Amino acid sequence: GAVVSQHPSWVICKSGTSVKIECRSLDFQATTMFWYRQFPKQSLMLMATSNEGSKATYEQGVEKDKFLINHASLTLSTLTVTSAHPEDSSFYICSGRRGLSNGYTFGSGTRLTVV
């Protein structure tokens, strides 16, 4: 089945620094990758839609200059949290789809803690 590899699985960083999260589709080409954020005991909230070779589409309320998304190839999408603050601490998850006849596959998630 479709596999999405996400790294790192967890990261602790100091306030004001930047963190990069990578998602790779291992056995399929992900034209589109979705980035979600999930706070404790809450559902997944879509942050942005990453399209290969073009600018990402951000959801309302998500700062595009703070959450930089790059989708340089059909198998790699990255999310960079710039100038991270404690309120950015969350579980970040990417998701891609291998064709219309399949569901969306999630990466394993990245737990970000900003101290």
Partner 1 sequence: QKEVEQNSGPLSVPEGAIASLNCTYSDRGSQSFFWYRQYSGKSPELIMFIYSNGDKEDGRFTAQLNKASQYVSLLIRDSQPSDSATYLCAFSGGGGYQKVTFGTGTKLQVIP
With CA atoms as reference, report the closest residue to 2 among 100, 77, 73.
Answer: 100
CA atoms of 34 and 22, how far apart (whole Å): 12
Q: With respect to partner 1, which residue has the nearer C-beta, 13 or 46?
A: 46
Q: With respect to partner 1, which residue has the nearer C-beta, 17 or 104?
A: 104
CA atoms of 29 and 23, how far apart (whole Å): 12
Q: Which residues make up the interface to partner 1 (CB under 8 A)?
A: 6, 31-32, 34, 42-44, 46, 49, 91, 93, 95, 97, 100, 102-109, 111
Q: With respect to partner 1, which residue has the nearer C-beta, 14 or 60?
A: 60
